[in-house]
Every structure is written in C-alpha cells, then in structure tokens.
Amino acid sequence: MDELVKQSLNKWPNVPHCYGWLALDARGAFRMRDEAAQAAHHPGDIIRHESLLAFIYRNYDCDSRGAWYFQNGPQRVFMELQATPWVWRLAADGAITSHTGRDATFLQCLLDETGRVYLNTDLGLGLVHSMDVHTVAQRIEAAQWTVQEVRAADLPARFAFVRSPQELWRLNQVTA
C-alpha cells in the first residue's frame, strides 16, 4: 500500500466505504460504474488511464470477509467481481502473472461446468485470461498440470472471496 494512503487512513479513519462503483471483469480490466451503469446492470467503462491503473494495482487488497477493494486514500472502494479476484496471464513457459502485474506460483488447475479455467496460486484463485487457455491446455497435455472439476457457484465459498461486496453491504443494511 502506498505510504500516502497509509497516512490518509491515520488522518481520516472514519471515511465511509464505497460500493458498486468499480468492477473487475473476466479479462482483468477495471471498470468504472456510475449510477446509470449500476442501475442498468451495465459493466461500466474500462479504466485506461495508466497512472490511475498503477495506483489501483498497488492498493488492491481484500478484507477479512474476502471482499476485494482498492484503497483510495482513506476510502475503501469495493470491487464487484465478474468472476474472481485475480485474472491470470500465462507466459509460454507457464509463468503466471496477475492482472495487477504480480507474479504467482501455481498450486492447482480447475475447470468449471462452462469450460472456464481457473488457477489456484499462492495469491489465491483467479480466472485464466481467455487468450491464455491454450497455454494451460499445453501444460495439461504435457502432464505438467492436472485438472480438477468444480462448480463455478462453489468457488467463492471454497476460496473465500465475495463477488459482490455491494450485495453483502445491502444484506447487512436490511438485517441491521
């Protein structure tokens, strides 16, 4: 986390969290979701500003509930996840890199009922980018990786992540 972000947390500890405004799509793009996009259940506009993306990448984390967020100064901006908290890119040699540029170590390969491929790594579970599924297939064919079948609906509970922190927040508001 950036030092300035840490300082702002100390200076303003009670800033309300933000829900619904940012999303991570299945190809690893962060998307801005204004009120109109949220109301229309639209994925939002892809964020392309390099400095803003670099800031998000450095300050991307999860809380104890498994809800992923971007720490924007004193405010947590929670992510709506289209699939998983990580999207993996694979090099030809099998090296794994996240959508935020972090390197990861392979633990397990998973395949869901729709044919989506996931990797469990030392950073956690992530969806393999659609352009890199062929690299996974090569590693499986070479008997370097084996595949475990899973149900997509079981992944959040099994790997401790929340796809919609906004829904979790709404449920807590209703029961409070």
Looking at the structure, do residues 131 and 76 belong to the same domain, yes or no?
no
* 128 shares its domain with 76: no
Residues 79 and 10 in one domain: yes
Q: What is the CATH number of the domain that holds 74?
A: 3.10.540
Q: For residues 123 and 25, what is the distance between their CA atoms, to the nearest angstrom?
A: 18
Confidence band, pLDDT 50/70/90 cuts, at residue 173: low
CA distance 97 to 123: 10
The number of folded domains in the chain is 2
Taking a C-beta distance cutoff of 8 angstroms, is the pair 136, 145 a contact? yes
Element holding 31 (H helix, E strand): strand 30-32
Q: Which amino acid is at 143?
A: A
Residues 99 and 150 in one domain: yes
Shared domain for 17 and 76, answered yes or no, is yes
Domain that holds residue 71: 3-83+161-175
Give 90-117 pLDDT, tens digit per residue. 999 999 999 999 999 999 999 999 999 9
Q: Kindly state whether residues 77 and 101 are assigned to the same domain.
A: no
Residues 113 and 147 in one domain: yes
The answer on 71 and 94 residing in a single domain is no
Are 126 and 76 in the same domain?
no
Global confidence as pTM: 0.87
pLDDT tens, residue by residue, 52-66: 999 999 999 999 999
The verdict on 134 and 70 lying in the same domain is no
3-state secondary structure of 54: helix
